[in-house]
Structure 1
Amino acid sequence: MKKKVLIMTQNFYPVIGSAGNRMKNIYQLLNEFDIEADVLTTEPAYPNKNLYNDKTFWDDEALNKKTKKIIRVPIKNKKFSNHIVSRLYFYIEIMWRFLIKLWQIRKENYDYIMVSTPPIFIVFSALIGKFFLKSKLILEVRDLWPDSLVGVKTFDNSFILKIFRILEKRMYRLADHIVINSKGFESHIRSKLKKNTPIVYLPNGPRAHEVVRSKKYEGKFRVVYTGNLGLAQDIDHLKLIASALQAEGIRFDVIGYGIKTEEFMRYIDEHQLDQVYMHQPTTRKKSLALIENSNIAVAFLNDADVFSTVLPGKIIDYMTCRTPIVAGIKGTAAQIITNNEAGFVFEQQDIQGMIEKIVELKNNPEKLKRIGENCTRTVQDVFLWENNIKELVQIINE
């Protein structure tokens, strides 16, 4: 008899970013591996709901078909805000609507609820729902919360943070299985557990058809950045990189979204950076095409300790496109880049070192090619979804 799984997530197709793509892949591949997977999610709203009025984002016909397998709950908030009260209301609304829907589908006989965090509030609805659905719980952790909240310096109320940490510990302990997308999370989570709860590493990655296996370096030399422009991404250092690349006459393409996007665009205008090209948020397919058409990709993360445990999805996307990485980053992501010779890692403040390395690589196409080959080999050996999903399939079929 097929196992039946309900995936609960705020981020799902066609939502842009690594979280939405991750949950889409898990949903599709579980079904391909003969597990009956359904999804409970919201209407697409990140970074804002109006973005998805553009049919360009709805580019997967198989997922566009009306089906009872994908349950979307409506939300009143039309824009994702960084204001703490507005965001709290947003999360509580999702939690409440998910709880109502879980009650309505309580007779569906799901063997597992797989819930993705952050945000943690969706987990609360899953923890309650698992009892009246009589399901086991797989907790999928994409970020360490509330440490990440502290890391972006948006919240510092010690009393409420203490409550959040108690809730975090409770969340881990009530899970039957835990899935992580970065090995850097494991020791932190283990320190919160009383029992030996199984923890499975399931990294972000490409599907096999997305991997770029050959690439020609022709035309104007280009550097690219893609993804969130938020509090975790160290926008100030990205500004400095943009100015430094301008001074070197190197084209810099940015596909950015998030709360710091307007600030970055103002900086470009004020400093007349005509070598910096801003692109509107777009589909994964078009984003990967832009990365593939670039010679080097850059990445930054806030230097808070919690972000040293993170493996950003963009790092794997860069390697998927055979594009060498120059990053101001540390910890888990830095180890992946360095150990696999997929690029070069610097201290965040070492903008000059990063620029010098970019110029060096610009003048050494053979070295660029070798690093690109390392990127492809690493992705094929370590990060393909078709291979890694088997870990999750094994858990569910036990």
Structure 2
Amino acid sequence: MHILYLHQHFATRAGTWGTRSYELSRLLIEQGHQITMLCGWSDRSGLPYDPDQRVMEHEIDGIRVLALNVPYSQNMSYLRRIWAFVWFMLLAAGVALRQRKVDVIFATSTPLTIAVPAMIASVINHKPFVFEARDLWPDIPIGMGILRNPVLKFAARALEWVTYRRARHIVACSPGMKAGIVEKGIQPEKVTVIPNASDNDLFDVPPEVGQAFRAEHPNLGDGPLVVYTGTFGRVNHLEYLVKLAQHVRQIDPQIRFLLVGTGSEKPKIRALAKELGVLDDNLWIMDAVPRQEMPAILSAASLATSTVIQNPVLFHNSANKFFDALASGTPIAINHEGWQADLLREENAGLVLAGDDFEGATSTLVDAVHDPVGLDAMGKAAQRLARERFDRNKLAL
């Protein structure tokens, strides 16, 4: 089967974004399918860039990649990002229409506008269209107060309504996302949950890999290390970790925090860390690294983290960093409720920190990182989940 796969933010392991689309494409190719990936370009994608080409064509691990010259960055203003979404939507529609020899069209959000070129090509070329919802858009931007204009809200809701009904089938990345889609009037049997997954082949590395990372960064010390690896965006609420580091330092200054990534909020997070006196004291901030280098950081960590703003619309997330931590056998701490919190409690694979109580969160974290037996048990439970329930190779079948 030949699949036209649309993902504006596609990235390889050489990039610093999540690689769900790359990993699934690679595994589908191993099963005998053919993939044409239609995507945009970013300095986080790991793709070559030619400013003179409107459509850059590459073959990467058997995937035919058509990368449109529509740069995107988390550091862009909100309006520039909106324009990048619209411009990609328009260009992608024309390119998708020319891919007439495909059997199915698969489009994955975000943004929700990715569905437009997919639906156009589906209708005109008479191909089935499958939509993957990685987040509940536009619920998130509306719920966070980002999308306020009544006309734009109506247009976003209308696009969501059409997308769900035009799609032959829908993939949701968490049970909560499926519930949100069903609430919009979609039949449950039309929606399949395929969560983000663990790349065990990449993250299951020997302890020496983490030890080497520590040796290369002596400022991190040899004590407990709490890491965050991901986007520095508004949704990710990294102010929480900076303030948590401030509280933890008062109890045990030997517990170190390391935040790795890039995004629009990074200057703000750095400034806050400096203001609170934790920057380069018990908290360090590093630039994003290619995904293939991430296993060393997680191997060095005592505890991984995944945080969001305390807004229930975000509790259904299926963050890549959560599954990366499981694959590495690193216990993970989150600061929100939802299906991931239920899973961590049921399986004893990590911590659920209070999102609005720093004293309580500090006590929980400090006690955990000073309990090597408990940490080891949580790490083994995390890796067991990665292998038995979230292995990418099994979920791709």
Q: 1:174-189, aligned counterparts within 5 Å?
A: 174-189=166-181
Deviation at 1:147, TM superposition (A): 0.7
- Return the alpha-carbon distance in structure 2 between the equivalents of residues 128 and 40 of structure 1: 14
- 2:381 corresponds in structure 1 to 374
Q: Single out whichever of 291-300 and 110-119 deviates more from structure 2.
A: 291-300
Give me the CA root mean square deviation: 2.4
Q: Is the 8 A contact 2:232 2:261 kept in 1?
A: yes
Q: SS at 2:315's partner residue?
A: helix
Q: Is the 8 A contact 1:292 1:321 kept in 2?
A: yes
Of 257, 267, 286, which residue of structure 2 is paired with 1:262?
267
Task: Call closer, same or farther: CA 1:351–1:94 in 2, change over 3 Å.
Answer: same
- 1:100 corresponds in structure 2 to 94
Of 246, 251, 258, which residue of structure 1 is paired with 2:256?
251
Deviation at 1:182, TM superposition (A): 1.0
Deviation at 1:82, TM superposition (A): 5.4
User: Which runs of no fewer than 5 residues in structure 2 stay unpaired?
Assistant: 50-57, 212-221
- Return the alpha-carbon distance in structure 1 between the equivalents of residues 258 and 169 of structure 2: 40
Deviation at 1:252, TM superposition (A): 0.8
Asked whether 1:83 is paired with 2:77, we answer yes
Task: Call closer, same or farther: CA 1:134–1:184 in 2, change over 3 Å.
Answer: same
Q: Is the 8 A contact 2:199 2:324 kept in 1?
A: no
Give 1:246's aligned amino acid: R
Q: Is the 8 A contact 1:326 1:354 kept in 2?
A: no
Of 224, 239, 242, which residue of structure 1 is paired with 2:242?
239
Deviation at 1:360, TM superposition (A): 1.3
Q: SS at 1:72's partner residue?
A: strand
TM-score, scaled relative to structure 2: 0.87
Deviation at 1:211, TM superposition (A): 4.4
- Return the alpha-carbon distance in structure 1 between the equivalents of residues 339 and 17 of structure 2: 20
Give 2:97's aligned amino acid: W
Deviation at 1:285, TM superposition (A): 2.2
Q: 1:1-398, aligned counterparts within 5 Å?
A: 3-14=1-12, 15-18=15-18, 21-46=19-44, 69-75=64-70, 77=71, 79-81=73-75, 83-106=77-100, 108=101, 110-193=102-185, 198-212=190-204, 215=207, 219-247=222-250, 248-249=252-253, 250-273=255-278, 274-390=281-397
Deviation at 1:44, TM superposition (A): 2.7
TM-score, scaled relative to structure 1: 0.86
Deviation at 1:206, TM superposition (A): 2.2
Task: Call closer, same or farther: CA 1:224–1:84 in 2, change over 3 Å.
Answer: closer
Task: Call closer, same or farther: CA 1:151–1:314 in 2, change over 3 Å.
Answer: farther
- Return the alpha-carbon distance in structure 2 between the equivalents of residues 364 and 80 of structure 1: 37
User: Which runs of no fewer than 5 residues in structure 1 stay unpaired?
Assistant: 55-62, 391-398
Deviation at 1:241, TM superposition (A): 1.2
Aligned residues: 372
- Return the alpha-carbon distance in structure 1 between the equivalents of residues 180 and 162 of structure 2: 14
Deviations 1:163-183 (CA, angstroms, capped at 9, x unpaired): 311221111010001111111
Q: Is the 8 A contact 2:302 2:330 kept in 1?
A: yes
- Return the alpha-carbon distance in structure 1 between the equivalents of residues 189 and 150 of structure 2: 29
Task: Call closer, same or farther: CA 1:344–1:83 in 2, change over 3 Å.
Answer: same
Deviation at 1:266, TM superposition (A): 1.3
- Return the alpha-carbon distance in structure 2 between the equivalents of residues 360 and 103 of structure 1: 57
Deviation at 1:278, TM superposition (A): 1.1
Q: Single out whichever of 231-240 and 169-178 deviates more from structure 2.
A: 231-240
Give 1:93's aligned amino acid: W
- Return the alpha-carbon distance in structure 2 between the equivalents of residues 358 and 194 of structure 1: 41
Percent identity between matched residues is 21
- Return the alpha-carbon distance in structure 1 between the equivalents of residues 203 and 73 of structure 2: 33
Q: Single out whichever of 186-195 and 219-228 deviates more from structure 2.
A: 186-195
Task: Call closer, same or farther: CA 1:66–1:190 in 2, change over 3 Å.
Answer: closer
- Return the alpha-carbon distance in structure 2 between the equivalents of residues 45 and 175 of structure 1: 31
- Return the alpha-carbon distance in structure 1 between the equivalents of residues 263 and 134 of structure 2: 18
Q: Is the 8 A contact 1:27 1:38 kept in 2?
A: no
Give 1:186's aligned amino acid: K
Q: Is the 8 A contact 1:245 1:252 kept in 2?
A: no
Give 1:111's aligned amino acid: D
Deviation at 1:347, TM superposition (A): 2.5
Give 1:259's aligned amino acid: S
Deviation at 1:279, TM superposition (A): 1.2
User: Which 4+ stretches in 1 moved above 6 angstroms?
Assistant: 51-54
Q: Is the 8 A contact 2:199 2:327 kept in 1?
A: no
Deviation at 1:7, TM superposition (A): 0.5
Task: Call closer, same or farther: CA 1:80–1:194 in 2, change over 3 Å.
Answer: closer
Task: Call closer, same or farther: CA 1:386–1:321 in 2, change over 3 Å.
Answer: same
Deviation at 1:288, TM superposition (A): 2.3
Q: Single out whichever of 373-382 and 265-274 deviates more from structure 2.
A: 265-274
